[in-house]
Structure 1
Amino acid sequence: MPHDRIRCAPLRARIVDAAAAAAHIGPGQTVAMSGFTGSGYPKQVPLALAERIGQAHDAGEAFQIRLLTGASTAPELDGALAKVDGIALRLPFQSDPDTRQRINDGSLAYIDAHLSHVAQHAWFGFYGEIDVAVVEAVAIREDGGIVPSTSVGNSKTWLDLAKKVIVEVNTWQPEGLEGMHDIYYGTALPPQRRPIPLEHTGDRIGETALRVDPDKIVAVVMTHGPDRNSPFSPADATSELIAGHLIEFLQHEVARGRLPASLLPLQSGVGNIPNAVLAGLAKSGFRDLTAFTEVIQDGMLDLLRSGVLASASCTGFAMSPQANEAFKREIDFFRGKIILRTQEISNHPELVRRLGCIGMNGMVEVDLYGNVNSTHIMGSRIMNGIGGSGDFARNGFLSIFLSPSTAKGGSISSIVPMVSHVDHTEHDVSIIVTEQGLADLRGLSPKQRAKVLIERCAHPDYRDALQDYFDRALRDSYGKHTPHLLPEALSWHQRWLDSGSMLG
């Protein structure tokens, strides 16, 4: 089996177990690992490293690493290292509960960065030197080129910059992934940058494997383990209502001549609401759509099969176990439809602007004037991170944010007087959708935005209170352009912290 997947003969001599590979990682080092939204991350070396760190701590020795990835990973990586207090610093995105707890209790430093920024910031030296890169692969080619698995993320940059490289070759990942990747090596630092020659979502502009100096590869580990496969949850009634409002809006935009019949390239976040939107597109009569996005999930596979979606460009997968098995069976079909790119390309602001992407992302809350909080609960507790939503919100043709109008059984309103944390300013937000309706904020002044958000998106239980706040702010605020009552602006959040409900 190693001979089938490791076609570079000299590297077969470097096959070791995970513990021996993890021994190349020392305390205080910066370790960059592959992985994006639970796909393509190393499975065994992080577990072995966590065991070693735990033993060091039991012996009274200090041992933590600085951990960089593409995006979120899985319990075998983030979770295992967080549980043994093995992470001193983490970036740029995470979704692990143990990691989140340590970030929020202040014991783990976290940098929440735009995903398009991470590779270039690493090249700029903002994160210091990268000591070790650990990446998952489907195979190693004869020339030492690494065929990535189900994500590319920042692996290109990690391999370029790291002093040492550890490769996990995962035989669970299908060999048919080879040829699906497009690794572009034409990026450069200012002032040497040149235009990226990508004009359509399906363009191939790079190579199908990652380059690496074979002399930097200090260990190869054979593994056989699945990605973090999140079970697919069918859309609930709220998600279907949100999707219905958005589909109706897109159809209206086509009828008005503001969008072509095939729309523009779609970017979609992960979860029930985006999957409901994708399911709605399948039934809506749209054809020959394209996606220029970060993640392929179950709904996009269905659209590709049906021909509703002609092609999809991404940097990773986020699929259920059932979808993963179907993907493996049909991989020859999908290899002609899906392109896996580095995230510095999948999230590149200039490409998002040029292609005219329609960005569809979730939010925690939005205020009366269109400022969106997508990362923090009650202003100070991080959920996961901004991820790539800012790349598409600031640069896309349409910036759409979707959310139920309430959370926690109705005790929290997602429409508030002032957001407790700002990720996307009012200048970057086009459309807000809840199950109550859709607010088109384009071309509206702040006070006009407040009116349509209250009327069309707020839950009835909170509509009168929002209107009362706005009316009094119009009368009593210091300025009338963006009226606020500063003593009350965040009082809804404080009320929830004090009583468990934003309702008065």
Structure 2
Amino acid sequence: MTSDRIRHAGLAAKVTDAASAAALIRPGDTLGMSGFTGSGYPKAVPVALAERIEAEHAAGHPFRVKVWTGASTGPELDGAMAKADGIEFRMPYNSDPIARQKINAGEMEYFDLHLSHVAPMAWEGFLGHMDVAVVEVSGITPEGDLIPSSSVGNNKTWLELADKVILEVNRWQSPALDGMHDIYYGTALPPNRVPIPLVKPDDRIGQPHFRIDPAKVVAVVETDAPDRNAPFSPPDDTALAIASNILDFLTWEAKRAGLPPSLLPLQSGVGNVPNAVMAGLIETPFEGMTAFTEVIQDGMLDMIEAGTLRMASATAFSLSPEKAQYFNENAQRFRDRLLLRPQDISNNPELVRRLGCIAMNGLIEADIYGNVNSTHVMGSRIQNGIGGSGDFARNGYVSIFMTPSTAKGGAISAIVPQVSHVDHISQDVQVIVTEQGLADLRGLSPKQRARLIVEKCAHPAYRPMLEEYMARAAKGSYGQHAPMLPGEALSWHQRFMETGSMQA
């Protein structure tokens, strides 16, 4: 029996099972899949497609596809299809461990790029042709419009560009999501691009639903499956110390710059430390705050309920399983406080610069001059991807990068002579924070930055090694603007790969 979530007669007539929908996908197709940080991704068709791919492989027939998404998805998509060896090419962000292993083994091509660039590059034709869009929605209106799910991501673009569309209508998603989205159809390519008419995080500039040509829809599949995000652990002492350093800095910066009690719009990466920052903000004098960010996390819902956060604009939820269930049960209470937008709006550099976002993101390692690696372990092994950190870091009011000072039980220092891969150049990195302290790098020369980062952020076990390196570099470097010893700058990484520790 067709769900009451599908209220358009023509699309209700296209309801089928996941296997039949997956049969419409051909080997070599490029698929635009919904999903962003484990929210709003299709959960039935990718599993059925993975089963079909496994059967084709067992029969000796090649079958792989290209997969484009908003960001990371869930085990039913990236995990199932990677396990079936069904993904030839993946972009723009991945956090699935099976897919990561295949990427790092050279068995899957991966294009990691700024999330704000994906939709424009797709429209510009740089990425190639899209054959099929597989998009989860929470409902279909009588007029045939699509009620978005728990993420928006690149769905608007996929629905417009794809030759064929497969819809998953997921009744697990709260019906109160209807009206919580702002889908802007005013973007255009140069030379026809015009300013985006958004000047406050809570401005509505679009419409609540996706438009779709019903003739493009080749199948509709009904599901009742939860989003699957990893649970957040309670913040440990290290996370709490990092959060405390950031909160002290924000309090100081607000006083120094004369910022209002609401600060400026917050942007935060995903994880335990950002959630600890959100929890800490509840206890500060700041009030009436807003967020203009990628994802709405547990801590932001807590801030809204505490009355500290007035509203949050994002492209997706990234909630722990417990908080996702809580949100579904209480979504009506959040309807006027949350907005989900396409990621080419939520991450748009024009808007980040205009609003003056306070950007807070994680890193894998930083070097003594403030260059940041947020994607690659030991320079060559991808962890997840750059995500939207660059969209916000280069354009925000202030760009903060945070990390524990060591990893692997102290075997790795997060502060190194030179990063093994550069995602954010020193000019885009203004503040570095560890549990040891905070380095405000604004207005400092390279050598000044180096002294401050080592003093404030490096772990005591590695600080003498860094100081000794800087002293020798000052004597033996080719130049004195940013002293460096090329033959030694990456020796810490080489030592870890050979011995399992960066310690000399």
**Cα offset for 1:3?**
4.6
Provide the rounded CA distance (Å) in 2 between the counterparts of 1:480 and 1:344: 41
**Cα offset for 1:261?**
2.2
Provide the rounded CA distance (Å) in 1 between the counterparts of 2:132 and 2:469: 53
Q: Which residue of the partner structure matches residue 447 of structure 2?
A: 447
Q: Which residue of the partner structure matches residue 79 of structure 1?
A: 79
Q: How do 1:184-223 residues align onto structure 2 when only pairs under 5 Å count? A: 184-223=184-223
Q: How do 1:311-390 residues align onto structure 2 when only pairs under 5 Å count? A: 311-390=311-390
Q: How do 1:407-418 residues align onto structure 2 when only pairs under 5 Å count? A: 407-418=407-418
What amino acid does structure 2 have at the position aligned with 1:92? P
Q: Which residue of the partner structure matches residue 480 of structure 2?
A: 480
Alignment size in residue pairs: 504
Q: Which residue of the partner structure matches residue 309 of structure 1?
A: 309
**Cα offset for 1:398?**
0.6
Q: How do 1:193-342 residues align onto structure 2 when only pairs under 5 Å count? A: 193-342=193-342
Aligned to 1:240, what secondary structure does the other structure show? helix
Q: Which residue of the partner structure matches residue 434 of structure 2?
A: 434
Provide the rounded CA distance (Å) in 2 between the counterparts of 1:270 and 1:473: 36
**Cα offset for 1:479?**
0.7
**Cα offset for 1:257?**
2.7
Provide the rounded CA distance (Å) in 1 between the counterparts of 2:208 and 2:180: 7
Provide the rounded CA distance (Å) in 2 between the counterparts of 1:50 and 1:396: 41
CA contact (8 A) 2:265 2:289 kept: yes
Cα–Cα, structure 1 residues 421 and 258, in superposed 2: closer, same or farther, change >3 Å? farther
Provide the rounded CA distance (Å) in 1 between the counterparts of 2:311 and 2:142: 30
What TM-score do the two structures reach when normalised by structure 1?
Answer: 0.99
Provide the rounded CA distance (Å) in 2 between the counterparts of 1:214 and 1:190: 29
Q: Which residue of the partner structure matches residue 403 of structure 1?
A: 403
In structure 1, runs of 5+ residues without a counterpart are none
Post-superposition Cα deviations, 1:151-176, rounded to whole Å, max 9, x if no partner, equal 00000000000000000000111111
Provide the rounded CA distance (Å) in 2 between the counterparts of 1:479 and 1:3: 70
Provide the rounded CA distance (Å) in 2 between the counterparts of 1:230 and 1:87: 23
1:55 aligns with 2:69: no
- Of all paired residues, the percent bearing the same amino acid is 63
Post-superposition Cα deviations, 1:421-469, rounded to whole Å, max 9, x if no partner, equal 0000001001000000000000000000000001000000000000000
The structure 1 segments of at least 4 consecutive aligned residues displaced by more than 3 Å after TM superposition are none
**Cα offset for 1:229?**
3.0
**Cα offset for 1:232?**
2.5
Aligned to 1:461, what secondary structure does the other structure show? coil
What TM-score do the two structures reach when normalised by structure 2?
Answer: 0.99
Post-superposition Cα deviations, 1:274-319, rounded to whole Å, max 9, x if no partner, equal 0011111111221111000000110000001111000000000111
Provide the rounded CA distance (Å) in 1 between the counterparts of 2:258 and 2:422: 29
1:466 aligns with 2:466: yes
Aligned to 1:186, what secondary structure does the other structure show? coil
**Cα offset for 1:258?**
4.6
**Cα offset for 1:401?**
0.2
Post-superposition Cα deviations, 1:165-190, rounded to whole Å, max 9, x if no partner, equal 00000011111100000000000000
What amino acid does structure 2 have at the position aligned with 1:216? K
CA contact (8 A) 1:230 1:318 kept: no
Aligned to 1:330, what secondary structure does the other structure show? helix
What amino acid does structure 1 have at the position aligned with 2:183? I
Q: Which residue of the partner structure matches residue 99 of structure 2?
A: 99
**Cα offset for 1:471?**
0.8
1:174 aligns with 2:174: yes
Q: Which residue of the partner structure matches residue 16 of structure 2?
A: 16
What amino acid does structure 2 have at the position aligned with 1:409? G
What amino acid does structure 1 have at the position aligned with 2:177? L
**Cα offset for 1:370?**
0.4
After superposition, the CA RMSD in angstroms is 0.8
Provide the rounded CA distance (Å) in 2 between the counterparts of 1:127 and 1:346: 21
